Amino acid sequence: MSDAPTFDAPFALGMMSLHEAPELHAPERLADWLEARLDQGLHWFDHADIYGDRAGETLFGAALRARPGLARRVRVVTKTDIVTPERDTSPFAVKHYDSSPAYVTRAIDASLERLGVARLDHFLLHRPDPLMDAEATGRALDDAIAAGKIGAAGVSNFPPEAWRRLQGAMHGRLSAHQLQLSLDHPAPLFDGLFDAVVGDGQAPMAWSPLGGGRTLNGPAAPVLHAQAEAFGVSPAGLALAWLRALPGRPLPVIGSLKPERIETLCRDAELTLPRPAWFALLEAARGHEVA
């Protein structure tokens, strides 16, 4: 594989909680918020069709329609294949995954319509589907790339053999991979998953990069806060710098929508973490030194 694509931003803005932020629901208010983020150099926005049961994509699209010039500046990642019990039309009303070509193709078209963009920059399968027909799903993704509907296909939370089965059935490459990765959850660095992602040429995106807040309050907290003070950054900014020090420079997907918090993390993104400091944080998080 050739080198993975890179994301030219210090972090992506996750839209998982957009539907829970009523102060941003008016299209003009959200358009103002988006324009401010774009002016900060933050142009990657991470969606999924299950966020707010489609509400996140719908609100985002309404803001872009209210200020059309923004659509050319945003870069969109979205995901599909999780069917919630409320969306299951079968008698079972069960949460499940659907990576069938028909479902994936409808999901791409529906996300394009809701978001109001000409193309989805990265379109990811959200969870590995044990029933996936790799050849059929791969064909659907290739067709979407050829039609200009998506810039690239990718995966989220997949184990290596699952994404390699899909990649083997495709002409296009799987360009991005979202995985859970943080000081609170460094397991992918030691179980082979992260090495496989980078080794296969996928650009890593780290979801829950602060462990849902546990990174700031967990076992590594004393060292994290002491180092943050020494380096003149916020503890959260330091935790993101720890991630960006890894090969492939993982793109953290942050969940905060607060402008002041985002501004702080933008400022902290200049930090390059020295190797001993990186290992000191790892040791604190894991509770033991490296072998």
So what's the pLDDT on residue 4? 56
Q: pLDDT-based confidence at 2, cuts 50/70/90?
A: very low
State pLDDT tens for residues 115-137. 999 999 999 999 999 999 999 99
Q: How confident is the model at residue 236 (pLDDT cuts 50, 70, 90)?
A: very high
The catalytic residue among 7, 33, 44, 51 is: 51
44 strand-pairing partners: 75
Distance in angstroms (rounded) separating the CA atoms of residues 84 and 94: 7
Q: What's the token pair of residue 70?
A: 């923004």
Q: Name 83's bridge partners.
A: 96
Fold that domain 12-180 belongs to in CATH: TIM Barrel (3.20.20)
Percent pLDDT > 90 in the chain is 97
7: pLDDT confidence band, cut at 50, 70 and 90? Answer: confident
Output the pTM of the full model.
0.96
> Is 103 annotated in the active site?
no
Planar angle of CA 88, 101, 203, nearest 5 degrees: 100
Q: What is the pLDDT of residues 153-194, one digit of tens each?
A: 999 999 999 999 999 999 999 999 999 999 999 999 999 999
CA angle in degrees (0–180, nearest 5) for 255-179-16: 25
Question: What is the Cα–Cα distance from 222 to 215, expressed in whole angstroms?
Answer: 11
pLDDT on residue 1: 44
CA distance 53 to 285: 35
Domain map of the chain by residue range?
12-180
Cα(244)–Cα(180) distance, rounded to whole angstroms? 14
Secondary structure element (H or E) that encloses residue 162, with its range: helix 160-168
- Joined together, the tokens standing for residue 119 give 């193309």
Closest CA to 165 of 126, 196, 135: 135
